[in-house]
Amino acid sequence: MIKTLQPQYYDAVIVGARCAGAATALLLARQGARVLVVDHDQPGSDTMSTHALMRGAVIQLKKWGVLDTLIRAGTPAIRRTSFLYGDQVFDVDIKPEHGVDALYAPRRSLLDATLAEAAGATGAEFRYGTGCTGLLFDEARRVRGVTLRAPSGATEEVCAGIVIGADGRRSAVARYVGATVSRQATNSIACVYAYMSGLPNHGYRWHFAPGAAGGIIPTNEGLSCVFAAVAPGVLAEARTNGTASHEALIARHLPVLADEIAGAAPVERPVTFPGSYGYFRQSAGPGWALVGDAGYFRDPLTAHGITDALRDAEVLADAVVRGNVGAYPTLRDALSSEFFEITDQIAALDWSMEEIQRHHYRLNKVMKANQDRIAGIGGALPRAA
């Protein structure tokens, strides 16, 4: 007798096991859903990203019981954020609010793995080294599952109540479902970042100079992530004349930052981000949804992608549990729209020192409103009706 193997079934298959995917898995699994998460990458691997978390993210990590693990792993507390407009310095101490009295910037290798471990402990299944190579559709074009390629090269079909693309900017799930871009940013920065040892933890230090921005982000193992951002054209030109190194960019465009890091030593090869325009993508349809960068990307200069990914994981998981995924993109866009617009203005790098301060003032108001909602004040994170 020939036996036909039935495809496996999960309530949700999530493609991408980093901050957006692992957080969504954690929240769905805690609601009793049967969840499978797949990722090309290996657990605990790094990715191209600095990792400054804002208060909204810290509130959520604490609420989910994950923050203590990050702290026990040696993630230093950030107790001050300083804005340096040329040589003018504005220090903002992190006051206790919403049960959080410090910010944190865990390395992605730690943050993503910690979220995945928490989701795994709740019952979500993780398959690493595994790619999603296509989607399964029913006759009405509703997504009903995925095709996967295991590390052995074997392919498999897995059925799901919903397929969630948490697979980043180049989202394969978005491509497979034909998700359209509903809004695109007009500006992008390019940046080079490197990890340095020997810098004291004075908190987040955000530097601004004509046509450039930079910063110092204290992180694990006594290291600081130091970045310099310029316009993509400026970086491309520097590359042609051999002045695109981390050190040369900072020396040329951010002299105050150069003074601040004098004597510190880079410990890893610098990473270059050539630039990428922000967007909103259509983020839900029959049997599918997108979360994190797969559905919404804003320029990294406002350091908010992870904070937004965690927020949207909660908004999406809530919509899935309530059976109203269609409401999720509207809610997500309402929470993100103004932030996206201000980020685009900041990423233009064409502001005067007075203008960038005004942008920051507006940004701060929007961030505060988001944090209050995440903390359940002034209206909790909106719920799908």
Number of DSSP helices (H) and strands (E) in the chain, helices first? 11, 19
CB atoms within 10 A of CB 233: 10
24, 26, 27, 31 alpha-carbon torsion, rounded to 10°: 130
Total Cβ atoms within 10 A of residue 361: 10
Nearer to ligand FAD, 100 or 172 (CB): 172
Asked whether position 124 contacts ligand FAD by CB under 6 A, the answer is no
CA 53 – CA 71 distance, rounded (Å): 13
Query: CB-wise, 103 or 331, nearer to ligand FAD?
Result: 103
| Cα–Cα distance, 180 to 176 (Å, whole number) | 11
145 makes contact with ligand FAD (CB under 6 A): no
Segment interacting with ligand FAD (CB under 6 A) among 37-45, 114-122, 345-353, 376-384: 37-45
Report the nearest approach of ligand FAD to the CB of residue 385 (Å). Answer: 26
List 273, 288, 328, 340, residue binding ligand FAD (CB under 6 A): 273
- Identify the residue among 37, 100, 185, 309 touching ligand FAD (CB under 6 A): 309
- Which one, 218 or 292, has the nearer CB to ligand FAD? 292
Contact characters 10-29, ligand FAD, x per CB under 6 A: -----xx-xxxx--------
Nearer Cβ to ligand FAD, position 293 or 344? 293
Can you give the C-alpha Rg of the chain in angstroms?
Answer: 21
- Is 132 a binder of ligand FAD (CB under 6 A)? yes
Query: Does the footprint of ligand FAD cover residue 177 (CB under 6 A)?
Result: no
Tokens representing 348 are 């233009």
Tell me how far CA of residue 346 lies from CA of 309, 353, 369, in angstroms: 20, 11, 19
Distance CA 151, CA 128 (A): 8
Contact residues toward ligand FAD (CB under 6 A) are: 15-16, 18-21, 38-41, 47-52, 131-132, 166-168, 172, 191, 273, 292-294, 300, 303-307, 309
